Amino acid sequence: MTEDLKTGIIRISDDVVATIAGLAALETPGIAAMSGGISEGLAKRLSGKNVQKGVSVEVGQLEAAIDLRIIVHYGIPIQEVCRQLQLNVRESVSNMTGLQVVEVNVKVEGVVFKEEEVFEEAATPRIK
């Protein structure tokens, strides 16, 4: 976004919009994690520090388009999670930047099961 005022120019970088979108995505119920994409390994799950992973944005002077790659929790209707995700991201980016979000595209790259989460957290060896 660029705003030409008498006092100067305001620009919002792609990284800022990607960070806002990533945080909004991780706060959406049903989203297990963002996906780093196939090029970075098999649906590498990321959270917290790398919120821009799994997020691609195009930012113009007045509009933004956002692409998200996500992993969802098993058992929750994917289409409902994705609709809520689109709404949350659109609202967060619009409220914080003033940009009109023209599209939020979502690609579901994986499903995580409760057992997988518990197993990954425990990570204890099976034999001694």
- Domains of the chain listed by start with CATH number: 2-122 (3.30.70.1350)
Q: Which residue has the tokens 């914080």?
A: 96
Whole-number Å distance between alpha carbons of 8 and 74:
49
Of the candidates 94, 97, 75, 96, the one whose C-alpha atom is nearest the C-alpha of residue 86 is 94
Q: Which two tokens stand for residue 22?
A: 């990533």
Burial of 101 (0-12, 13-18, 19+ CB in 10 A): buried
Three-state secondary-structure class, residue 44: coil
Q: Which two tokens stand for residue 121?
A: 């957290």
pLDDT score, position 96:
97
pTM: 0.74
Sequential pLDDT tens for the chain (128 residues)? 555 557 887 789 999 999 999 999 999 999 999 987 554 444 344 444 455 789 999 999 899 999 999 999 999 999 999 999 999 999 999 999 999 999 999 999 999 987 655 345 445 555 65
